[in-house]
A = this chain, B = another copy of it.
Amino acid sequence: MESYKYLFDLALILLSTKLLGLVTKKFNMPQVVGALLAGVILGPAVLGVMGESSFIKEVAEIGVIVLMFCAGMETDIQELKNSGKASFIIAVAGVLIPIAGGYAVAYFFNRPDMIVSDASGSTFLQNMFIGVILTATSVSITVETLKEIGKLKTSSGNAILGAAIIDDILGIIALTVITSMADPTVNIVVVLLKILGFFAFAVVAGLLFYKFYVMWYEKSGKGMHRHSIVVFVFCLFMSYIAEEYFGVADITGAFIAGLIISCTQKTQYVAAKFDTLSYLLLSPVFFASIGLKVVLPKMDLSLILFAVILTVVAVLTKICGCGLGAKFGKYKGKDCLRIGVGMISRGEVALIVASKGQVVGLMGTNFLGPIVIVVLITTIITPILLKLVYRDAPGESEVSGGFGGNYEELEVYRRGKEG
């Protein structure tokens, strides 16, 4: 007789992530905070009622791919072109400085006399990887907060939205480069050639698929199941080919597949279907799987110190990096601070990157706890700090360009997601 515990586990994961998600939502925090806490509580850190079974692991892996695919689909390339040079500079500075900060903290802690880790790659890459985890801004909490206080359609709000998109893409590039180098036997030139090769392949495959898909879409009826399936197949093949033939992370393939679908301008129907797939099964399992890996008893003093310092660095490097970028982008003093604060929060992408790093051996399993703490704390403090720095800001005025135009649509989409 086989065991049916996986049914119980799945029910418990869905129930607890949703319940705690609704609780955190009541306190104006995103549901990811609750979902993560649910995983930590169920796992060995607190109750220990379940471990990470192969079922949870594999469903979580598909979950990560679908989450990154959705992130790609949500990226509006057209809006990106309009979002301007300032957003670009903010994003670049807001990626480089956290990488440097994360590297510095890891350089100090990731050594045998401080924290013993089970990672296997070169120490330099391991430390760089902590930096890469710190790059990914999760802008949804900022959007909610600015909307609430009526400051979203300001020039700084606009800059944050534009920069957050570019930030995602830069983060994916950094992740791609560093995970491709994880295998110590490979030559760096070969790695870079493979990455370039993958992007070249992605452009060609993307163009071909785009042409086929648009043509086929016009011919067949709208809103049919087959569209979602064809798009999913494309995403899975891109993920597989990235890993198998180019040594590039599967989530990079999924994100690029999403970007290509986003260009078809017919993504709404398909995105809604993947949203259902994600919230009803895949992403609760993913968040729980992260929480299940966190082991509190192993959080000894140096690991706790590492978590605290990493959190402080995560906050400061985004404020300084993005603020500095905003300064270069000709924003004024107070607005630079606002933009920096708006980019603080990290979310699911940081977790996805971290769990990827653990799989390829670039991050020790015991580092996951501190990363979860960074995500939780940055997410909790962002709305509080935002309300503080926007206290004396002028109210919103209709800003042309940037996200001003289709923001309502974006908002409807996000609201739908948070139910």
Contact = CB atoms under 8 A, between A and B. Distances in A.
Interface of A: 1-2, 4-8, 10-11, 14-15, 18, 22, 54-55, 58-59, 61-62, 65, 183, 221, 223-226, 228-230, 232-233, 236-237, 239-240, 243-244, 250, 273-274, 276-277, 279-281, 284, 359-360, 417, 419
Contact of A11 (B2, B237, B419): B237
Contacts of A284: 229
A2 B22 CA distance: 35
A230 B14 CA distance: 8
Nearest to A282: B281
B243 A4 contact: yes
Contacts of A221: 419
Given A15-B230, A229-B280, 6 more contacts: A1-B360, A6-B61, A7-B250, A15-B229, A225-B279, A281-B281
Number of copies of this chain that the complex holds: 2
List of 10 A-B pairs having minimum Cβ-Cβ separation, nearest first: A11-B236, A224-B419, A225-B419, A7-B240, A4-B243, A276-B276, A8-B240, A15-B233, A55-B58, A18-B229
Q: Which of A14, A54, A183 is the most central at the interface, judged by chain B CB atoms within 10 Å of its CB? A: A14
26 contacts: A1-B360, A4-B240, A5-B240, A7-B65, A7-B237, A7-B243, A7-B250, A8-B236, A10-B62, A10-B236, A11-B232, A11-B240, A14-B232, A14-B233, A15-B229, A18-B233, A22-B226, A54-B58, A224-B419, A225-B279, A226-B419, A228-B276, A232-B280, A232-B281, A276-B276, A277-B280
Contacts of A417: 225
Nearest to A224: B419
Given A11-B233, A419-B224, A250 B280 contact: no
A417 B8 CA distance: 29
Contact of A281 (B14, B224, B277): B277
Q: Chain A: interface secondary structure?
A: helix
A276 B277 CA distance: 7
A249 to B, nearest CB: 10
Given A55-B58, A233-B15, A239 B4 contact: yes
A294 to B, nearest CB: 21
Contacts of A15: 229-230, 233
A7 to B, nearest CB: 4
Contacts of A2: 359
Contacts of A280: 225, 228-229, 232, 273-274, 276-277
Nearest to A22: B226
Given A237-B8, A250-B4, A18 B226 contact: yes
A165 to B, nearest CB: 25
A159 to B, nearest CB: 31
A278 to B, nearest CB: 10
B55 A14 contact: no
Contacts of A1: 183, 360
Contacts of A228: 276, 280
